[in-house]
Structure 1
Amino acid sequence: MSYAATAALQAAVYSALVADAEVSGMADGAIYDALPAGPVPSTYIRLGAERVRDASDKTGSGAVHDFPVTIVTDAAGYHAAKQIAAAISDALIDADLSLTRGSLTALNFLRARARRVADTREIEVWFRARIDTSDA
């Protein structure tokens, strides 16, 4: 097991979301790992958190990465955020992402949660990525 491919996975997910015209357009390009200084957009997408566990077996080493892509909005309702969440799911589920370290063998939807946090609404869409790190 290795945590070695985590940065490569995040970079590939970020690139896929930025390159997806629907996702990027719906979020006005506001896709972040770290929020910019100053005022933040009224709707944005946040990456970065994850949970990783060993998935090594007799055939090689690997890891399972569970990670959320979070949509944050100050809009009055959830409708627009749910549309962005659906577009993110469409862009990532079974995506053929190229990693700079390790090989992605699966990328699937895991779960989602919509909730109010202070004055915002957040939708966390969780994905599970299986990465083969035998050659990493």
Structure 2
Amino acid sequence: MSVLLSDVLQSAVYDRLVANVELGAIVNAHIYDAMPAGPVPDLYVLIGEEVVKDSSDVSGAGSQHDVLISLISTADSFLTLKQAASAVWTALDSSDLVLSEGRVVGFWFRASTAKRSSSGQRKIDLKFRARLEA
């Protein structure tokens, strides 16, 4: 059961981010669940890796999803990335995500890491945890 709801969770997260006006004002429409072909924009959001664990119990089927959302920029400063990260956090900081099947029991921010690569690219990784029931 564990990975059964991964696709509907990813769709709900993507829909929530795309619909967020504050995030859209910062990154425009550059929110991806897969890297686009060709050149990438100077600032974008990427829904990335996910680790899923079964958390079914006697009450029914359930799963825990650790989701990574990355904000990536070629800018010289972390400021805009941090503003975008704040908008992502605000958009997702609730358990009212609507899934096409199953139910979100909770959706929580877990951790954040800001890094600069040797090529000068800046990246903030946001980690969230979702608890779902089928």
Report the TM-score when normalising by structure 2: 0.95
- Find the counterpart in structure 2 of residue 61 from structure 1: 61
Deviation for aligned residue 1:49:
1.1
Alignment coverage as a number of residue pairs: 133
Contact persistence 1:4–1:101 (CA under 8 A): no
Deviations 1:85-115 (A, max 9, x none): 0110000011411111211110010101111
RMSD: 1.1
Q: Are residues 1:108 and 2:108 paired?
A: yes
Contact persistence 2:95–2:105 (CA under 8 A): no
**Residues 27-42 of structure 1: pairs in structure 2 closer than 5 A:** 27-42=27-42
Identity of aligned residues (%): 39
Deviation for aligned residue 1:128:
0.4
Higher-helix-fraction structure: 2
Q: Separation in 1 of the partners of 2:86 and 2:36?
A: 25
Unaligned runs of 5+ in 1: none
Q: Separation in 1 of the partners of 2:5 and 2:60?
A: 15
Q: Separation in 1 of the partners of 2:85 and 2:95?
A: 15
Q: Separation in 2 of the partners of 1:119 and 1:102?
A: 41
Q: Separation in 2 of the partners of 1:96 and 1:11?
A: 14
Q: Separation in 2 of the partners of 1:35 and 1:25?
A: 20
Q: Separation in 2 of the partners of 1:71 and 1:7?
A: 21
**Residues 2-13 of structure 1: pairs in structure 2 closer than 5 A:** 2-13=2-13
Q: Separation in 2 of the partners of 1:95 and 1:19?
A: 16
Unaligned runs of 5+ in 2: none
Q: Partner amino acid for 1:12?
A: A
Q: Separation in 2 of the partners of 1:2 and 1:95?
A: 19
**Residues 34-113 of structure 1: pairs in structure 2 closer than 5 A:** 34-113=34-113
Of the structure 1 ranges 78-87 and 117-126, higher mean CA displacement relative to structure 2 is found in 117-126
Structure 1 ranges of 4+ moved more than 4 A = none
